[in-house]
Amino acid sequence: MFKKKIALLTLSAVMTGMLAGCGGGAEKAAGSETAEAAAAKPDKKIVIKYWYAFGDKIEEAKQHMVQTFNESQDKIEVVAEHQGNYDDLHAKVQAAFAAGDAPAVTDLEIASTGVFAHSGMLEDLTSYAEKDKDQLKLDDFIPGLMGNAYVDDKLYGLPFMRSTPIMYKNVTMLKDAGLDPSGPKTWDEFEQYSKVLKEKGKLGMTVPVDIWFYEALVAQSGGTMLSEDGKKATFNNAAGVAPVDFWKRLVNEGLIKMPVGDEAGDTADKDWANQISAFKFASTAGVSQSLEIAKGNGFELETAFMPANKDYGVPTGGCQLVMTSKSSAEEKAAAWEFMKWMTSQENTIYQHKHVGYLPTRTSAVESEELKEHFTQYPQYKVAVDQLKYARPRPMENGYPEVAKIVRDAIQKAIIDPKTTPQQALDEAAAKSDKLLGK
The model's pLDDT over 129-172, given as tens digits with 9 standing for 90+, comes to 999 999 999 999 999 899 899 999 999 999 999 999 999 999 99
- What distances in angstroms separate CA 206 from CA 13, 250, 256, 285, 406, one per listed residue? 52, 11, 6, 19, 19
The model's pLDDT over 212-232, given as tens digits with 9 standing for 90+, comes to 999 999 999 999 999 999 999
Mean pLDDT computed over 111-118: 93
Cα–Cα distance, 168 to 160 (Å, whole number): 23
Please tell me the predicted confidence (pLDDT) of residue 43: 64
Q: Across the chain, which distance is largest between two alpha carbons, in Å?
A: 94
* Predicted TM-score of the model (pTM): 0.84
- What distances in angstroms separate CA 18 from CA 31, 37, 39, 44, one per listed residue? 15, 11, 8, 7
Q: Is 84 exposed, middle or buried (0-12, 13-18, 19+ CB in 10 A)?
A: middle
Mean pLDDT computed over 378-391: 94
**Conformational region of residue 130, where left means phi above 0, alpha means psi within -120 to 50, and beta covers everything else:** alpha
**Conformational region of residue 100, where left means phi above 0, alpha means psi within -120 to 50, and beta covers everything else:** left
Q: Which domains does the chain have, with CATH numbers?
A: 43-163+317-391 (3.40.190.10), 165-315+398-436 (3.40.190.10)
Mean pLDDT computed over 25-32: 35
The model's pLDDT over 227-251, given as tens digits with 9 standing for 90+, comes to 999 999 999 999 999 999 999 999 9
Cα–Cα distance, 115 to 145 (Å, whole number): 18
Query: What letter represents residue 275's amino acid?
Result: Q
The closest of 353, 338, 206, 388 to 282, measured between CA atoms, is: 206
The model's pLDDT over 350-384, given as tens digits with 9 standing for 90+, comes to 999 999 899 999 999 999 999 999 999 999 999 99
